[in-house]
Amino acid sequence: MSVTTDSGPFRGDDPRVRAMGEGGGRDGEFPRVTRSRRNTLWSGIGALVVVVIFATLPYTTQPGVWAILTQGLIILTLASMWNLLAGYAGLVSVGQQVFLGLGAYFILIPNMHGVSPFAALPLAAIGAAVVAIPLWWLVSRLRTAYFAIATWVLASAVALFVQQFQSIGGGTGMPLQGLQWADTNLLSADTYWVALAVAVLAIGGTYLLLRSRVGLVLTAIRDDERAARSSGVRVGFARALVFIVAAAGCGAAGGVLAIQQVAVSPGAGGVFDITWTAEMAFAVIIGGLGTIEGPIVGTVVYMVLFETLQHYNAWYLIILGLVAIGVTLFARRGLWGTVEEKFGIRLLPTGYYLWSPAERRRRIGRADRG
């Protein structure tokens, strides 16, 4: 029997693992621990190829395509961050739009002093992360559902507070300066590349974070918080870290959004709109909570719905909401989670796979024959 373990603390060089193999002696008797059943080199190369293909799209396709994809990449970044929060740290935030909005404002404010919006993008991430620290201090007092609404209330409060300042546009917002380029195609291509870079960083960052020690802690929390806590896992620290990282990611996405819209508007349908959180959350739920691939799959579903239904006003959100409710009730692990469960595929493995001696022998034997 082989055991798939996500939270398994066994590494190949772990003395416990070695001890298991010591009874046998022959090489095949050794249980081996790898990240995945399959060789991950191919999915790594695949990911690289996909990124390269996406990066060259502005040379091969029409501007309309990149504009749509920019929107998708913003949602993808947001969804990856929300997945980190809800899927791993158990923090269901309904107020992530606050960091999106703050990110946009951290582009706008330097821009008013002459800084290029593209150059200010790191500021959007850092600024949102810094603001997240006091906000975390406030909301970390509450759990689960109350945490959810508290983030919502805080988001509204921050949005209202920002709108008090007439110098940064008050309640109506402001256009960005220095983006009135003669070549609009170049601007939209640059926006697309920036959106792609942010999305790749968000997913890559999530992947690396989850493979680190903190990732082990996070998977332990995801699987059973009480057990993790009683084993001495620093749940509070890991949660705070995730909250801040997610704020940075959403801030960067907000910066990209501001560049895409060439303006920042805080009102209805603007950067502080709850719809953003609904979209990122539903994308994650549909794709699969607690997997890295889930938000990607969910974003594709979101984009298909959005593109086919966007001329029917609010219908895409109604259907997205209904699909999310249906998935969460009847396919808890989402589309990707279901596929993963059925076929054992992990394109971006963050857990460990424990090979039993018997299975390893079979595999070695197959390799000899083939």
Partner 1 sequence: MAWVNAIIQGILTGGLYALFACGLSLMFGVMRVVNLAHGDLATVAGYIGVGVIAAIHVPFLWSIPIVVVIMALLGYVLQRTLIQAAINRGDLTTLIVTFGLSMVIENGLLQFFTANSRGIGVNQSIITDSFSIGSQIQIAWLDVIIFVLAVVVLLGLQYYLSSTKYGRLIRAVADDREAAQLSGADYRHVFGIAAAIAFGTVALAGTAYGMTTTIDPTTGTQTILLFAFAAVVIGGLGSLWGTLVGGIVLGVAQEIGAQINLSWELLAGYVIFLVVLIVRPQGLTSRRAQS
List contacts with partner 1 (CB under 8 A).
86, 90, 92, 94, 138, 141-142, 144-146, 148-150, 152-154, 156-157, 160-161, 164, 268, 274-275, 278, 281-282, 285, 289, 313-315, 317-318, 320-322, 324-325, 328-329, 332
Write down the least CB distance from residue 88 to partner 1, Å. Answer: 12
Residue placing its CB nearer to partner 1 in the complex, 120 or 242: 242
List the one residue out of 304, 317, 248, 6 whose CA is nearest residue 103. Answer: 248
Write down the least CB distance from residue 319 to partner 1, Å. Answer: 9
Residue placing its CB nearer to partner 1 in the complex, 115 or 149: 149
Write down the least CB distance from residue 324 to partner 1, Å. Answer: 5
Residue placing its CB nearer to partner 1 in the complex, 125 or 280: 280
Residue placing its CB nearer to partner 1 in the complex, 130 or 157: 157
Write down the least CB distance from residue 82 to partner 1, Å. Answer: 11
Write down the least CB distance from residue 258 to partner 1, Å. Answer: 23
Residue placing its CB nearer to partner 1 in the complex, 66 or 272: 272
Write down the least CB distance from residue 287 to partner 1, Å. Answer: 13
Residue placing its CB nearer to partner 1 in the complex, 141 or 342: 141
Write down the least CB distance from residue 170 to partner 1, Å. Answer: 9
Residue placing its CB nearer to partner 1 in the complex, 48 or 322: 322
